[in-house]
């Protein structure tokens, strides 16, 4: 796995090459290439971007504006969680660690859990709140705890993104709240989704939850594809006005695996409908070979 992370530094295409080599045990693999197929049911907008990746071999089955600059919105929290999972692996925090919530973090706008300054949240509850509720107050609290300040943490997020080959991504905060300088691409988000499942298989199940219990209440999430579309097992939605409705989706069934990214949907419903359409179109064409990038250990 260290080899996987080291080799991701050179960019997305070499990263997928290394992933596929590690999984398949072969000496070469097909680099990510766009499919000539076109999805015609959904009219693109200036915010729109799509990529569908076969997660068993790393091949791109479809893409549209996949390397165009877009706002990540709450997809940003995928990297916040990556950094938190990494801190757990390094022994810097445990699931029981209590993270303090500053006045600044408590004042972040919704979506949020709702804290008073000086309260705390455990790492386990923080993970659940980020994956399921997409809580902005929790994202800022995690950033301040791990990075000292949110600005410093965002710089660390960007540095890690570069190491993962996410060459089109810059983070300015941990939540995805509006910032004109915060940017990403659909291709980068696909790579991050693959890296999360590959690097942190034991934590990935958090992305599959549609609700969690906190302080005696049930907190429900935003990902309506979970439990409704066969094979979908995560991972993250996002929305701000500048981005439109974003989603990174993992689906696996009958040995076939896809990572689908749709950005810039006009509504959550239309975005979800496009994801369903893409799954129906491209999952039958996905490979059953390679053992699954998303299941790498």
DSSP 190: H
Q: What are phi and psi of 161, to 5 degrees?
A: -60, -45
Is 217 labelled as part of a ligand binding site?
A: no
How far apart (Å, rounded) are the C-alpha atoms in residues 103 and 141?
10
Q: Which two tokens stand for residue 169?
A: 């991504």
Say whether 134 is catalytic. yes
Instruction: Tell me which of 77, 111, 112, 250 is the catalytic residue.
Output: 77
Active-site option among 65, 74, 111, 125: 74
27 catalytic, yes or no? no
Neighbours of 238 (CB within 10 A): 24
The answer to whether residue 175 is catalytic is: no
Rounded CA separation 144/123 (Å): 13
What is the arrangement of strands in the sheet containing 244-253, beginning at the earlier edge strand? Answer: 60-64, 49-54, 256-265, 244-253, 232-240
111, 125, 134, 198: the catalytic one is: 134
Q: CB count, 10 Å around CB of 167?
A: 15
- CA 163 – CA 99 distance, rounded (Å): 27
Q: Would residue 2 be called left, alpha or beta, if left means φ above 0 and alpha means ψ between -120 and 50 degrees?
A: alpha
The pair of three-digit structure tokens given for residue 220, joined into one six-digit string: 């429900």
CB-based burial label for 64 (10 Å; 0-12, 13-18, 19+)? middle
Binding residues for substrate: 236
Positions at the binding site: 236
Catalytic machinery residues = 74, 77, 134
């Amino acid at each position: 796995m260290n080899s996987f992370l080291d080799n991701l530094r050179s960019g997305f295409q070499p990263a997928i090459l290394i992933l596929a080599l590690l999984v398949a045990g072969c000496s070469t693999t097909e680099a990510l290439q766009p499919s000539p197929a076109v999805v015609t049911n959904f009219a693109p907008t200036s915010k729109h971007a799509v990529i569908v990746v076969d997660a068993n071999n790393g091949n791109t089955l479809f893409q549209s504006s996949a390397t165009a600059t877009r706002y990540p919105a709450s997809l940003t929290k995928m990297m916040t969680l990556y950094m938190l999972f990494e801190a757990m692996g390094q022994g810097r925090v445990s699931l029981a660690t209590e993270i303090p919530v500053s006045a600044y973090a408590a004042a972040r706008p919704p979506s949020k859990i709702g804290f008073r300054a000086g309260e705390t949240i455990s790492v386990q509850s923080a993970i659940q709140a980020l994956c399921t509720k997409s809580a902005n107050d929790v994202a800022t609290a995690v950033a301040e705890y791990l990075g000292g300040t949110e600005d410093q943490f965002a710089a660390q997020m960007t540095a890690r993104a570069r190491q993962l080959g996410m060459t089109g991504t810059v983070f300015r905060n941990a939540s995805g709240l509006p910032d004109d300088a915060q940017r990403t691409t659909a291709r980068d988000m696909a790579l991050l989704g693959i890296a999360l499942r590959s690097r942190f298989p034991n934590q990935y199940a958090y992305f599959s939850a549609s609700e969690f219990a906190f302080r005696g209440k049930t907190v429900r999430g935003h990902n309506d594809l979970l439990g409704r579309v066969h094979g979908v097992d995560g991972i993250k939605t996002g929305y701000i006005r500048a981005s439109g409705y974003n989603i990174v989706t993992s689906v696996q069934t009958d040995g076939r695996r896809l990572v689908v990214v749709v950005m810039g949907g006009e509504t959550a419903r239309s975005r979800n409908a496009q994801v369903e359409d893409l799954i129906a179109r491209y999952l039958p064409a996905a490979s059953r070979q390679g053992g699954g990038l998303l299941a790498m250990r």
